[in-house]
């Protein structure tokens, strides 16, 4: 079917406009997209990876799920309290305490959840944040001189519109290095688990070797007795010479 001249001109104009706009679309692409794709792992692996950070397997599952949907979440933290007894002594008790954290950010993909928690873990490990709540939502401290120091949280920075690469940079980390380290950690743990399991199975299947009996030492050989020397043979006496035969007399 042939296009009419006007229709053909309109289609050409639209195509030219799209080609002109293409570089603009390319510039608007998320520069962190490859890293986010690398960080995307199944929920079960995320839950296992951040159990220690969240406080328990159940808390980790809730934390990962709530970050995914953008809901508020609960974390478990070990809190130590010291009380003074009537007799003047003190009692120190450490117990798990649940804390509800208001999520300032919206729903995220699994890769973004992984990035969020890896950044929070890095902040706690480096001492930049004292706990998970401070790492995610920020921490405000009033100094002795009256000044106030504010450390931004990962979720708050993301809610303000910052990209993941810029968030990591602002907090003092490299996004790609964090994601690669977390993935290597998973592989290392998995490989160690498989090796330990195989070692246990081999140990169970293989019968124990009997203990080796100590080798009995051989008695020392008696010293070799010198053989007595053989007496020298006496010289054989010389054979006496036979007398000469008499001459034969001729017959008469």
Residue-wise pLDDT for 132-149, tens only, equals 989 999 988 888 898 988
Give the three-state DSSP class for 12.
helix
CB 117 within 8 A of CB 73: no
Q: Is the pTM of this model over 0.75?
A: no
CB 150 within 8 A of CB 140: yes
- Beta bridge mates, 124: none
Of the chain, the percentage scoring pLDDT greater than 90 comes to 41
Sign of the dihedral defined by the CA atoms of residues 182, 173, 175, 159, in that order: positive
User: What is the phi-psi region of residue 72: left when phi exceeds 0, alpha when psi lies from -120 to 50, beta otherwise?
Assistant: beta
Q: Which pLDDT score is estimated for 78? A: 78
Q: What is the pLDDT of residues 52-102, one digit of tens each?
A: 998 889 989 999 999 999 999 887 777 888 989 999 899 998 888 887 888
Q: Which pLDDT score is estimated for 194? A: 42
CA distance 48 to 39: 15
| 242 has a pLDDT exceeding 80 | no
182 — pLDDT class (breaks 50, 70, 90): confident
Q: Give the chain's mean pLDDT.
A: 77
15 — pLDDT class (breaks 50, 70, 90): low
Q: Which pLDDT score is estimated for 208? A: 56
Instruction: Give the DSSP H/E element, type plus range, for residue 94.
Output: strand 90-101
Average pLDDT over residues 112-139: 93
Q: Which residue has the higher pLDDT, 77 or 33?
A: 33
Q: What is the pLDDT of residues 140-176, one digit of tens each?
A: 888 889 898 888 899 999 999 999 999 999 999 999 9
* Cα maximum dimension of the chain: 180
């Amino acid at each position: 079917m042939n296009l009419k001249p006007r229709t053909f001109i309109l289609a050409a104009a639209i195509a030219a406009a799209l080609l002109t706009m293409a570089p603009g679309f390319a510039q608007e692409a998320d520069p962190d997209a490859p890293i986010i794709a690398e960080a995307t792992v199944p929920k079960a692996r995320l839950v296992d990876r951040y159990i220690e950070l969240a406080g328990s397997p159940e808390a980790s599952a809730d934390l990962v799920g709530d970050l995914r949907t953008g809901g508020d979440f609960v974390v478990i933290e070990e809190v130590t309290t010291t009380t003074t007894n009537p007799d003047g002594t003190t009692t120190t008790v450490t117990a798990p305490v649940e804390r509800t954290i208001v999520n300032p950010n919206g729903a995220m993909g699994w890769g973004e959840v992984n990035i969020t928690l890896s950044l929070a873990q890095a902040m706690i490990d480096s001492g930049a944040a004292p706990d998970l709540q401070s790492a995610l939502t920020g921490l405000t401290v009033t100094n002795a001189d009256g000044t106030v120091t504010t450390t931004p949280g990962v979720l708050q920075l993301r809610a303000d519109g910052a990209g993941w690469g810029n968030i990591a940079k602002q907090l003092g980390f490299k996004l790609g290095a964090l994601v690669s380290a977390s993935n290597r950690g998973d592989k290392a743990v998995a490989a160690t688990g498989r090796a330990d399991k195989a070692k246990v199975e081999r140990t169970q299947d293989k019968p124990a070797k009997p203990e080796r009996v100590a080798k009995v030492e051989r008695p020392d050989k008696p010293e070799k007795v010198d053989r007595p020397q053989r007496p020298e043979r006496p010289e054989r006496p010389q054979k006496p010479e036979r007398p000469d035969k008499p001459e034969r007399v001729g017959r008469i």
